[in-house]
Structure formats: C-alpha cells, structure tokens
Amino acid sequence: MARWAAGAMLAGTLLAGCANYAGIEPQQTLTPISRLSANQVLGRSPVSPAAWPDADWWKRLGDPTLDTLIQEALSDSLDIAMAQARLRSANAAIVSARADELPGIDASAEISRSRVSKVEDPRGQGNFYSTSRSLLLSFDYDLDLWGGARAAWEAALGEARAQEIEYRAAGLTLSVNVARAYVSLADAYARRDVAQRQLDRALRINDINDELLQAGLNNETQSLQSQVTAASARQALEAAQQSIRSERISLAILLGKGPDRGDTIPQPDALSPAIAALPSVIPADLIGHRPDVVAARWRVEAASRSIDAAKAQFYPNINLSAMAGFRSVLGDYFFSEAAKSGSVTPAISLPIFEGGRLRANLDSTDAEYDLAVAQYNKTIVSALGEVADDVTTLQSLERQRQSQQQALASARSAYGLAEERYRAGLAGYLDVLSSEQQLLSAEQSLTQINTQRLDRSVQLVQALGGGLALDDSVPTGGDGPSVAHGAK
C-alpha cells in the first residue's frame, strides 16, 4: 500500500512540474446560421420544398448539347484532375495518421563480417575475422493515453472530407462555367441575328438615299450619312461574329480541349431558366447544400481535433517496445538456445521544460482554428448574400422582362401600322425603316434581359449548392472545439 502511495505522490509531483497550456484557448466562435435573417428579401419569392437543384440541374436549361458539353468537361477538365490529386493526397494523410494509432512490427536480418583488432578483443590477441549474424522481430506501441494520435487521425479525416467536398465543388464550378459560357454563346448568336437585320436595314436605307440622290430628290449629305450607318452596321455584325468565335474558344478551354473543338459546337437551342422557385428553409439548409459552407465546416472540425492532438503532447505518455530474435557470431549456433535474444522496454515520456515549444505549437493550432472559424462565418454570410442578390436580381429582371415585352408589342404594332400606311401610299418607306429600327432595338433589349435572366438563374443554382445534399454528415453542433481538455 505504501508503495502505491509513493507512486501516486511521484506521479503527482511529475504532473505538477510538467509543461502546461494555461491561458491558451481559441478566440473565435461559430456563428449559428439561424442568426442570419433574410426573410424580408426572400419572403416575396415562390417557394417549393423540391426546388433544391438536382445533381444534373443543367438539364433544366433544355438543350441536349449542353448536357453533352458538361459531361465532356467533367471527364476531361484539368481543374477536375487537380482536385482529384488533392483529394488523393488528403486520403493518404488519413492512412498515415491512422498508422500512428496502431502498433508497429518490424523484422530485420543482418550479417556483418569484420576484422577484430587487439584493442577490440577481450583476450588481447586480435588479428582475426569475426562474423556476426542477427534475425530480429521488434514491436513498438504508443499507448496514446490522452487520445492525441486519434485526434490527429480525426483531424486528417476532417481535412479529407473538406477536400472531397471541394472536389465536388470543382465539378459544380466547372458545370456552372460551361453553362454560363453556353448562355453567352446563345446570346452572341442572338446579337449576330439582330446585327444582320440592322445591316440589311442600313443597306436598304442606303439604296433608297442613292436612288433619291440620283433623282435629284435628296442631297449628298443624307446619302453619306446612310453610308456611315451601313459601315457601322457591318462593324457591329463582325463584332457579333467574333463574339461567337470567342465564346466557342472559351467553351473549348473549359472542356480541356484545343480551340478547334469550339468550331464543332452548334448554335444553342432556345434556353429556359435553370431554376423557377426557391427551396424552403433558407438560410438554415444552406449548411448542407453549399459545397464551400460544408467544406469550411469540416475544416473547423479538423482544426478542433488538431487542438486536442496538440494538448495531448503536454501530458505524460507510455511507449512499449519489445524485441525477440537470434544473435550469434557462430553460424552453427545461430538458432541455438544460447543465441536467443529479447527485451521488453516500457518507456515513460513527460515534458517538463521544452523552451515554450509545446505552448507555441498549441497557440499556433488555436490560431488555425480561429482562422477556420472566421472563414466559416465569412462563408455563410457570403453564401446567404449571394442567394439574396441572385434572387432580387431575378425578381427585377422579371419585372424588366414584362415591361420590355409590352414595349416590344407596341413596337411591333407601330411597325405593322407603318407598313400599312406605306402600302396605302400615306407614308414613305423611310418611315417603315424607322419603325423597324425601333422594333429591332426592342427585340435586342428583350434578348439582353433574357440572357441576364438565364445567367442569373445559373448563378442562383450555384449559390444554392448545385445539387449537393449532405445534411446528415455535416457537423453542426458547438461553438468551439468538439472535445476540449481543461487547462492545466
């Protein structure tokens, strides 16, 4: 009994004298997403529980060619290849950290021949050759009394989960970029068609002015002005055609191919918005649907476990080593009883004075945790802001579209009336062309608004997570490290 008491007193004395981490704690706390209000901004939008984007959300745009392009991009993109490499590295780190929790067993065999000198020979003779042989099996096990190795493994696991989410985020970003480039390509074709009609109109005006000039019914100034207008229309048409070429090249790059791949991309079909309603339970459910939010939350969890691993280094630990095998300088007796060798070595390590290294390491780990928390808090605020901005912009564009449709209807009526007056001999053809210009301008404005709606709908899909759904696997609880040791 006295021996146990003495041991306990010795252990207490050692613990009292070892390094401690008093006063070192994280400073940041997680911001609950429930505190972020967006009811006033999002409350006027149509809501549906099934409105979260699907994994293949781009099919809602309604163009099979786009589906093919995105699948090709996901298969061949260099960005995806880099994300895969980062994920493989993170998974390898898990295996490495897990190995630190398990016992290590090594086998070794050695044979050595050397000339023994006089001073090395206990008999004082020397001048002969000696051959030593050994066959050993060694065992090493860190008991990990305070869970530091397991915490390090859990930290690596959290980082790997973050990398997995970022790999999926890379696919989402790529698909969004392809869809937006495809929308821009469709817009370039629409602008080219309008530019062609503008050129046709300018050429007809130029022909009329030339005829009037030759008949003496017009002056040269009006003829020169119409020539300037026609030249400007040609320039606008060429610019629109170059936009088509540029968008095709951009798509080819996103596909991971050379520029020639863009020449094979056909003109897009008429596209529909990628999303028509908002999902329910925003902003709370963003934590399970936004890749950047999910990845940031896993990094907070990984940083929390790194703190536990750093704190475990302040405590005493026990390492158990054992060895068994054969050692002999005589080959005939290598496996004999006399050649057997073995040892058992329990070792206790206790940090007493290490010059502040452990405290500095813990302080740095706490800072990394604070950084991860701050990044998470920033991410959820930005995520909700992106959703709100996309939603309000789409609402505004819808109102603009309705107004522009009314303007287009009026322009068509005016153009039709001008044609009737011309056929009845009540107006000149220039009046028809002037009405046509108003019609073309109205059509061009509506095309621009529709393009903006399509592009914003794709951005909203990305803001809502683009088909990611990991509600059950995302850590949600706590405002600090998930396992906190009390200060010593």
Tally of domains within the chain: 2
Same domain membership, residue 408 and residue 335: no
Query: At 346, which CATH number?
Result: 2.20.200.10
Average pLDDT over residues 7-29: 62
Q: Are 450 and 397 in contact (CB under 8 A)?
A: no
Unique residue bearing structure tokens 């028509």: 276
Q: Are residues 243 and 200 in the same domain?
A: yes
81-96 average pLDDT score = 76
279 and 260 housed in the same domain: yes
Asked if residue 221 and residue 190 are part of one domain, the reply reads: yes
Are 282 and 338 found together in one domain?
no
- Domain presence at residue 7: no
For residues 110 and 133, the answer to whether their CB atoms sit within 8 Å is yes
- Look at residue 381 and tell me if it is in a domain: yes
Same domain? 276 vs 127: no
**Omega of the bond leading into 283 within 30 degrees of 0 (cis):** yes
Asked whether residue 230 is assigned to any structural domain, the reply reads yes
Q: Indicate whether 338 and 398 sit together in one domain.
A: no
How is 64-118 classified by DSSP, letter by letter?
Answer: HHHHHHHHHHHHH-HHHHHHHHHHHHHHHHHHHHHHTTS-EEEEEEEEEEEEEPT
pLDDT of 129 strictly over 90: no
Higher pLDDT, 353 or 299: 299
CB environment 324-358: b (16+ within 10 A), e (fewer): ebbebeeeeeeeeeebeeeeeeeeeeebeeeeeeb
Q: Which domain holds residue 109?
A: 102-143+317-350
Q: Given this model, what pLDDT does residue 79 score?
A: 76
Do 51 and 131 belong together in one domain? no
pLDDT for the residue 481: 40
| Neighbouring residues of 277: CB distance < 8 A, sequence distance ≥ 6 | 45, 46, 47, 48, 51
- Do the domain assignments include residue 265? yes
CATH code of the domain covering residue 33: 1.20.1600.10
Tens digit of pLDDT for each residue in 360-416?
888 888 888 999 899 988 888 888 888 888 888 888 898 999 999 999 899 888 888
Percent of the chain whose pLDDT exceeds 90 = 15
* Amino acid letter, residue 44: R
Nearest-Å Rg of the Cα atoms of the chain is 38
430 and 330 in one domain? no
Q: Check residue 403 and give its pLDDT.
A: 93
Specify whether 396 is located in the same domain as 325.
Answer: no
Residues 420 and 432 in one domain: yes
Per the structure block, which two tokens stand in for 117?
């000198």
Domain boundary (331, 350, 369) is at 350
Determine, yes or no, domain membership for 470: no
Q: Which of 14-18, 284-288, 462-466 has the highest mean pLDDT?
A: 462-466
Q: How far is 394 from 389, CA to CA, in rounded Å?
A: 9
